[in-house]
A and B are shown apart, each in its own frame.
Chain A
Amino acid sequence: MNALVIPAATQVGNTTLNIAIFSIFVLVTLGIVIRVSKQNTSAADYYAGGRAFSGRQNGIAITGDYLSAASFLGIAGAIAVNGYDGFLYSIGFLVAWLVALLLVAELLRNTGKFTMADVLSFRLKQRPVRTAAAINTLAVSAFYLLAQMAGAGGLVALLLGITDRTGQSIVIAVVGALMIIYVLIGGMKGTTWVQIIKAGLLIFGAGVMTLWVGAKYGFNLSGLFDDAIKQAGNSNILNPGLQYKNKIDFISLSIALVLGTAGLPHVLMRFYTVPTSKEARRSVVWAIWLIGLFYLFTLVLGYGAQALVGSAAIKAAPGGVNSAAPLLAYKLGGELLLGVISAVAFATILAVVAGLTITASASFAHDIYAQVIKKGAVSPDDEVKVARRTAVVVGILAIIGGIFANGQNIAFLVALAFAVAASANLPTILYSLFWKNFTTRGALFSMYGGLISSLVLIIGSPVVSGAATSMFPSANFQWFGLNNPGIISVPLSFFLGWLGSVTEKEHNAAKYAEMEVRSLTGAGAEKAISH
């Protein structure tokens, strides 16, 4: 076994250096956020960055939004420890983008204004459908937010050597406060630039490490696998089955992954930041290339971490499986590379959390406050004011949630967010875009049915109770054997949407014509604003 030199046993690298590099990132991005948000006045500015981003810029920002800490640290770690199964997981995350590309992105851009609910309530009864869509937006964003904030705690343990809960909680609060500042100052425009910078750093950092590992093995993948097998003492790391023991559970997870992406509200909202549906298409094309490239990097990084660091050392490190990529960086490039990769990982959490916060605040202010409570009788300025206040509340809730969820499994929480998105959102999105006879009752059945069934199944699953790795390991009210609800809740939600629609007669021919023509041709779609 290669013994890894770990100074002071609890942390690697130089804490001061890590903090310094991260501080530089914060200062630079904050400067940019302040600069670009000078004209952050209208609702379209705050929610959609003035719809003035190009497809390429938005594609990079989507990549930044999507490659969360769970993707970067989680997938590299899963491959390092469980081999092939980690790779399998990343494929679902990538293929899912084809659903967004072919079925959702362009039509949504043409039809909606700021939120997912704009599209879903377009030709149905405004208030009930908007309320349901907003509740689902908040639920999915909350799961996702919690996952990111929980990850921050573990990362802090590893990178700053802060092992006590109080210290970690303070850092989570600092991360949350920074994010609130970004969102308040920058709105969608500032947040988008943070995503773009972060995505660039992440892909560059991962690319450098991949080339470095590649060079060590003469760019011979088979040779790298040889070393990984030797280090692991187990040739099964090249084969499926090490991580996912329950076959049905894995299929259930795959359904959630491939159908969840196009139902994630913070991803959908990004399509409003470009001027046309053509640019929305271009955004997804860029995102698919960059995300695909990144997952190919993680394949090399994961096996590289196994070969050069070893899964035993990874599991023993503070931060556990999530520490594979940082430990590999330390092994390759010492303190400096570790500092850079650590800063990137922090930036990742910060940027994703900012994106989620703006989505949640937009949904509350635009859907619930302006349309449901005030019935549309509210000025855009007041709406944005409410959105900013909501962002502060969401940020504070995220800090509190993150402190309590500290130590929970990040990848699981993210998988659950995908499961809720796939069951509660995607069926209604597809029905309302493509099915003429879809009705309000169908939408409500599908959205609430998908949300409630996935939550009930999650609460009854081993994730929550009845196993050593559960949220409440000492309790046992588990009755649903699978960790992931998708295999039941997704088909159920599609069925409920159909059932609700065929039992009701509702057809607004004029609104349907407007929605269909608008979605396919862009006639009447929201225009970019020019300052």
Chain B
Amino acid sequence: MSGPNDISEERAARYLEVQNSQEFAALRKKFRGFVFPMTGAFLAWYFLYVILATYATDFMSQHVVGNITVGLILGLLQFVTTFAITMYYARWADRELDPAAEKLAEHMERGTLQ
């Protein structure tokens, strides 16, 4: 049966070779080491905010300056952290991830790991 993603045996063997290489293991570790903790952190911060907005309404309703409440500031901080994580990740991935990934992709196409 021919599937939509069929590749040659030689190429399949190369994928396995790359997957088992130290360089690839390092790339995967680096990527996961960044995105997993970061995802945990922003989800925790988001749900903390949601729970405060549902269960700590008195706290969120406190006025800080004029009509600016704690709730508004925390909400705007969600925007700030989202923008900050976006910029931080994009810069990190451009610098740390792409060169290593490109190198492995080149090896993959050339057929050697050296």
Binding site for B on A (CB under 8 A): 84, 87-88, 91-92, 94-95, 97-99, 101-103, 106, 113, 118, 122, 126, 221-223, 225-226, 229, 236, 238-241, 244, 247, 250-251, 254, 258, 278, 281-282, 284-285, 288-289, 292, 295-296, 371, 375-377, 434, 509-514, 516-518, 520-524
Contacts and interface: CB of A to CB of B under 8 A. Distances in A.
A221 B76 CA distance: 13
A240 B54 contact: yes
Contacts of B50: 88, 92, 250-251, 254
B18 A376 contact: no
Nearest to A278: B98
26 contacts: A84-B75, A92-B50, A94-B78, A98-B38, A98-B42, A99-B39, A102-B35, A225-B66, A240-B53, A240-B71, A250-B50, A251-B51, A281-B93, A292-B83, A295-B79, A376-B3, A376-B4, A509-B16, A512-B19, A514-B5, A518-B15, A521-B101, A521-B102, A521-B105, A522-B102, A522-B105
A520 B71 contact: no
A229 to B, nearest CB: 7
A247 B54 contact: yes
A262 B98 CA distance: 22
Contact of B79 (A118, A240, A278, A296): A296
Contacts of A87: 72, 75
Contacts of B68: 221-222, 225
Given A91-B79, A98-B82, A251 B71 contact: no
Contact of A239 (B51, B71, B86): B71
B39 A240 contact: no
Contacts of A296: 79
Contacts of A434: 32
Contacts of A99: 39
A383 to B, nearest CB: 11
Contacts of B83: 288-289, 292
- Taking each of B28, B67, B72, which has the highest tally of chain A beta carbons within 10 Å of its own beta carbon? B67
Contacts of A98: 38-39, 42, 82, 85-86
A92 B49 CA distance: 10
